[in-house]
Amino acid sequence: MRERFIEVLHEDYAQSLSIDNILYDNKSKLQHIQVFENRRFGRVLTLDGVVQTTEGDEYIYHEMLTHVPILAHSCARHVLIIGGGDGGMAREVLRHKLVESVTMVEIDERVISFSKTYLPSLSNGAFDDPRLNLVIADGADFVGKADSKYDVIIIDSTDPVGPGEVLFSKSFYGSAKSLLNPDGVLVTQNGVPFMQPDELKGTMRAFQQLFTDWGCYIATIPTYAGGPMAFGWGSLSSSARDVSIEVLADRLAATGIDLRYYTPSIHKAAFSLPRYIEKLLP
Ligand code: AG3
């Protein structure tokens, strides 16, 4: 039998992918990074035994964490990404011509350099865009010290184990909030609630205390196994959330961007939650 990757995220449940060709395998003090090829999903990036992204389904995750907040906000010019070293998030943000600057704060330089080599379709030139300002630093340190303001902040983290853990704390969210412009929106990767209910619970409790408008929205990404993934949403005003399908459609048409998952009606529908997820909210 061919070699297989077995995910170690949950103690009692695992997804397994055939490793049809291994391209990169590097263990450092910070993280264990692997890239391999799988017939169904294309190239797969894993950190510490957990799938982070695959060529086959990355667009669902990246489109939903970028176009939802950017199109909801009428004029996002300055965007901050915490994490996202593979460049997929930066790529999607930079498709918006009105965005003037993207600051991306990645803790592990190796993720960027090998992604350029082994996963070039993820960044698709984003690292060469003059609007991208790349910072190699701990995201929590960065938000604690920064004094610039942003219209949209995207937390593209790993799960709350290892280096990603602090990115789920109330103090981190509080510092990130202080970097938002008045109509700004913060969005987060919040795990798969069926498998990781406490992750969403904790974030939503913090958001309730920090934001005027808070909640979450969902999308199903095949390799984040176990049901839909939740994305946290926090804003200091409800104007971004209240936008209609028609307005979103006009804004999307004005960008001229062609998408594979996002539609204005998906955008609105994503905030309708199944009861088991609704029950995790305070
Ligand atoms: N970061 C999110 C990985 C989450 C995996 N977790 C899970 N299956 N619950 C992806 C980084 C892509 N830019």
Q: Could you give the number of structural domains in the chain?
A: 2
216, 200 in Cβ contact below 8 A?
yes
CA torsion, ordered 166, 56, 4, 83, to nearest 10 deg: -20
Cα dihedral across residues 171, 235, 215, 91: positive or negative: negative
Task: Determine the pLDDT at residue 166.
Answer: 82
Return the number of other C-beta atoms located less than 10 Å from residue 235's C-beta: 26
76, 96 in Cβ contact below 8 A?
yes
Catalytic residue among 156, 159, 242, 258: 156
Please give the residue range of the domain that contains residue 208.
58-278
Return the structure tokens found at 150: 């942003």
Mean pLDDT of 128-150: 96
Q: Are residues 259 and 129 in the same domain?
A: yes
Q: Are residues 62 and 48 in the same domain?
A: no
Mean pLDDT of 213-233: 98
Q: Are residues 44 and 134 in the same domain?
A: no
Tens of pLDDT, residues 69-100:
999 998 999 999 999 999 999 999 999 999 99
Known active-site residue 141: no
CATH at 66: 3.40.50.150
Q: Is the CB of 85 under 6 A from ligand 1?
A: no
Q: Are residues 148 and 131 in the same domain?
A: yes
* Cβ burial 212-225 (10 Å sphere, 16+ → b, else e): ebbbbbbbebebbb
Return the number of other C-beta atoms located less than 10 Å from residue 91's C-beta: 24
Q: Are residues 50 and 112 in the same domain?
A: no
Q: Is the CB of 86 under 6 A from ligand 1?
A: yes
* Ligand 1 centroid distance, CA of 84 (Å): 10
CATH at 36: 2.30.140.10
Q: Are residues 143 and 235 in the same domain?
A: yes
Q: Are residues 45 and 141 in the same domain?
A: no
Q: Is the CB of 112 under 6 A from ligand 1?
A: no
Q: Are residues 23 and 131 in the same domain?
A: no
Q: Are residues 36 and 159 in the same domain?
A: no
Q: Is the CB of 224 under 6 A from ligand 1?
A: yes
Tens of pLDDT, residues 158-201:
888 777 788 888 999 999 999 999 999 999 999 999 999 999 99
Mean pLDDT of 212-239: 97
* Ligand 1 centroid distance, CA of 157 (Å): 7
Q: Are residues 147 and 214 in the same domain?
A: yes
Atom of ligand 1 at shortest range from CA of 88: 13
Task: Determine the pLDDT at residue 165.
Answer: 81
Task: Determine the pLDDT at residue 114.
Answer: 86
Please name the residues in contact with 229: beta carbons below 8 A apart, sequence gap of 6 or more: 61, 189, 190, 191, 192, 218, 219, 220, 221
**pLDDT above 70 (res 148):** yes
Tens of pLDDT, residues 227-241:
999 999 999 999 999
Task: Determine the pLDDT at residue 37.
Answer: 97
Q: Are residues 32 and 66 in the same domain?
A: no
Q: Are residues 191 and 235 in the same domain?
A: yes
User: Which residue puts its alpha carbon closest to atom 13 of ligand 1?
Assistant: 84
User: Which residue puts its alpha carbon closest to atom 10 of ligand 1?
Assistant: 52
Q: Is the CB of 228 under 6 A from ligand 1?
A: no
Mean pLDDT of 265-274: 98
* Ligand 1 centroid distance, CA of 130 (Å): 27
* Ligand 1 centroid distance, CA of 250 (Å): 31
Mean pLDDT of 3-8: 95
pLDDT-derived band at 271 (thresholds 50, 70, 90) equals very high
Average pLDDT of the chain? 95
* Ligand 1 centroid distance, CA of 30 (Å): 17
